[in-house]
A and B are shown apart, each in its own frame.
Chain A
Amino acid sequence: MPSSERIARCFAACKEAGRPALIAYLTAGDPEPGRTAEIALALERGGADILELGVPFSDPIADGPVIQRASDRALKAGASVERVLDAAREIRARSEMPMILFSYLNPLLRYGFEKLCADAREAGIDGCLFTDLSVEEAADTVETMRQAGLDTVFLAAPTSTERRLKLVADYSTGFVYVVSRTGVTGEQAQVAGGVDGLVSSLRKLTSLPLAVGFGISKREHVEAVGSYADGVVIGSAVMRVVEQHGAAADLEQHVEQFFKELAGRA
Chain B
Amino acid sequence: MTETPQTPDARGHFGPYGGRYVPETLMAPLEEIEHAFYEARQDAEFQAELKDLLKNFAGRPTPLYEAKRLSAELGGARIFIKREDLLHTGAHKINNCLGQILLARRMGKKRIIAETGAGQHGVATATVCALFGLECVVYMGEEDMRRQRLNVFRMRLLGARVESVTTGSRTLKDAVSEAMRDWVTNISTTHYLLGSALGAHPYPMMVREFHRCTGDEARQQMLERTGALPNTVIACVGGGSNAIGIFTAFVPDERVKLVGVEAGGRGLALGEHAARFAGGAPGVLQGAFSYLLQDGDGQVSLTHSVSAGLDYALVGPEHAWLHDQGRAEYVNATDAEALAAARTLARTEGIIPALESSHAVAEALKRAPQAKGEVLLVNLSGRGDKDTDIYRENFPELDNPDAK
Name A's B-contacting residues (CB within 8 A).
57-62, 64, 68, 75, 80-81, 104-111, 131-137, 154-161, 164, 168, 179, 182-184
**Nearest Cβ distance between residue A63 and chain B, in whole angstroms?**
8
Q: Which residues of B contact A136 (CB under 8 A)?
A: 11, 19-20, 27
Q: Which residues of A contact B186 (CB under 8 A)?
A: 182
**For residues 1 through 33 of chain B, which have their beta carbon under 8 Å from a beta carbon of chain A?**
11, 19-29, 31
- Which residue from chain A places its CB closest to the CB of B173 in the assembled complex? A59
B168 is an interface residue with CB less than 8 A from chain A: yes
Given the interface pairs A58-B168, A59-B177, A184-B181, the reply to whether A134 lies near B20 with Cβ below 8 Å is: yes
**Nearest Cβ distance between residue B30 and chain A, in whole angstroms?**
9
Please tell me if the beta carbons of B298 and A59 are within 8 angstroms of each other in the complex: no
B235 is an interface residue with CB less than 8 A from chain A: no
Please tell me if the beta carbons of A137 and B20 are within 8 angstroms of each other in the complex: yes
Please tell me if the beta carbons of A132 and B284 are within 8 angstroms of each other in the complex: yes
Specify the main secondary structure of chain B where it touches its partner.
mixed
Please tell me if the beta carbons of A137 and B21 are within 8 angstroms of each other in the complex: yes
Please tell me if the beta carbons of A134 and B181 are within 8 angstroms of each other in the complex: no
Please tell me if the beta carbons of B184 and A155 are within 8 angstroms of each other in the complex: no
Please tell me if the beta carbons of A182 and B187 are within 8 angstroms of each other in the complex: yes
Please tell me if the beta carbons of B298 and A160 are within 8 angstroms of each other in the complex: no
- Which residue from chain A places its CB closest to the CB of B178 in the assembled complex? A61
Please name 6 further chain A to chain B contacts, defined as beta carbons within 8 Å, in addition to the given A81-B297, A160-B24, A183-B184, sorted by A numbering: A109-B282, A132-B22, A155-B25, A159-B187, A179-B23, A179-B25
B331 is an interface residue with CB less than 8 A from chain A: no
Q: Which residues of B contact A58 (CB under 8 A)?
A: 168, 299-300
Please tell me if the beta carbons of B298 and A164 are within 8 angstroms of each other in the complex: no
Please tell me if the beta carbons of A179 and B297 are within 8 angstroms of each other in the complex: no
Name B's A-contacting residues (CB within 8 A).
11, 19-29, 31, 167-168, 173-174, 177, 180-181, 184-188, 281-287, 292, 294, 296-300
Please tell me if the beta carbons of B28 and A107 are within 8 angstroms of each other in the complex: no
Given the interface pairs A80-B297, A110-B294, the reply to whether A157 lies near B23 with Cβ below 8 Å is: yes
Please tell me if the beta carbons of A109 and B168 are within 8 angstroms of each other in the complex: no
Please tell me if the beta carbons of A155 and B24 are within 8 angstroms of each other in the complex: yes
Please tell me if the beta carbons of B21 and A75 are within 8 angstroms of each other in the complex: no
- Pairs A–B under 8 Å by Cβ, sample size 18: A57-B299, A58-B299, A59-B168, A59-B173, A59-B300, A75-B299, A105-B284, A107-B299, A109-B284, A110-B283, A110-B297, A132-B284, A132-B287, A137-B11, A157-B23, A160-B27, A161-B28, A182-B186
Please tell me if the beta carbons of A81 and B24 are within 8 angstroms of each other in the complex: no
Q: Which residues of B contact A104 (CB under 8 A)?
A: 284
Compute how far the CA of A133 lies from the CA of B21 in the bound complex, rounded to whole angstroms. Answer: 5
**Nearest Cβ distance between residue A140 and chain B, in whole angstroms?**
11
Q: Which residues of A contact B167 (CB under 8 A)?
A: 68
Please tell me if the beta carbons of B25 and A159 are within 8 angstroms of each other in the complex: yes
**Nearest Cβ distance between residue A103 and chain B, in whole angstroms?**
10
Contact of B185 among A133, A160, A183 (CB under 8 A): A183
Q: Which residues of A contact B292 (CB under 8 A)?
A: 106
Q: Which residues of B contact A159 (CB under 8 A)?
A: 24-29, 187
Given the interface pairs A61-B286, A160-B28, A161-B28, the reply to whether A132 lies near B23 with Cβ below 8 Å is: yes
**Nearest Cβ distance between residue A134 and chain B, in whole angstroms?**
5
Please tell me if the beta carbons of B177 and A179 are within 8 angstroms of each other in the complex: no
Please tell me if the beta carbons of A184 and B298 are within 8 angstroms of each other in the complex: no
Compute how far the CA of A60 lies from the CA of B167 in the bound complex, rounded to whole angstroms. Answer: 11
Q: Which residues of B contact A80 (CB under 8 A)?
A: 297
Pairs of residues from A and B, 9 with the lowest C-beta to C-beta distance, nearest first = A110-B298, A107-B298, A157-B25, A183-B185, A155-B24, A58-B299, A159-B28, A157-B24, A80-B297
Compute how far the CA of A155 lies from the CA of B184 in the bound complex, rounded to whole angstroms. Answer: 14
**Nearest Cβ distance between residue B400 and chain A, in whole angstroms?**
43
Compute how far the CA of A61 lies from the CA of B296 in the bound complex, rounded to whole angstroms. Answer: 21
Contact of B23 among A68, A75, A155, A161 (CB under 8 A): A155
**Nearest Cβ distance between residue A178 and chain B, in whole angstroms?**
10
Please tell me if the beta carbons of A106 and B300 are within 8 angstroms of each other in the complex: yes
Compute how far the CA of A157 lies from the CA of B27 in the bound complex, rounded to whole angstroms. Answer: 9
Q: Which residues of A contact B19 (CB under 8 A)?
A: 136-137
Q: Which residues of A contact B23 (CB under 8 A)?
A: 61-62, 131-132, 155, 157, 179
Compute how far the CA of A1 lies from the CA of B20 in the bound complex, rounded to whole angstroms. Answer: 29
- Which residue from chain B places its CB closest to the CB of A157 in the assembled complex? B25
Contact of A164 among B28, B184, B282 (CB under 8 A): B28
Q: Which residues of B contact A135 (CB under 8 A)?
A: 24
Compute how far the CA of A156 lies from the CA of B284 in the bound complex, rounded to whole angstroms. Answer: 21
**Nearest Cβ distance between residue B368 and chain A, in whole angstroms?**
39
Q: Which residues of A contact B20 (CB under 8 A)?
A: 134, 136-137
- Which residue from chain B places its CB closest to the CB of A104 in the assembled complex? B284
**Nearest Cβ distance between residue B170 and chain A, in whole angstroms?**
13
Please tell me if the beta carbons of B28 and A108 are within 8 angstroms of each other in the complex: no
Compute how far the CA of A136 lies from the CA of B201 in the bound complex, rounded to whole angstroms. Answer: 11
Q: Which residues of B contact A62 (CB under 8 A)?
A: 23, 181, 184
Q: Which residues of B contact A134 (CB under 8 A)?
A: 20-22, 24, 27
Compute how far the CA of A164 lies from the CA of B180 in the bound complex, rounded to whole angstroms. Answer: 21
Which of A60, A68, A80, A132 has the most chain B CB atoms closer than 10 A to its own CB? Answer: A132
Compute how far the CA of A234 lies from the CA of B185 in the bound complex, rounded to whole angstroms. Answer: 19
Q: Which residues of B contact A157 (CB under 8 A)?
A: 23-25, 27-28
Please tell me if the beta carbons of A109 and B27 are within 8 angstroms of each other in the complex: no
Q: Which residues of A contact B26 (CB under 8 A)?
A: 159
**Nearest Cβ distance between residue B202 and chain A, in whole angstroms?**
13
Given the interface pairs A107-B299, A108-B298, the reply to whether A59 lies near B285 with Cβ below 8 Å is: yes
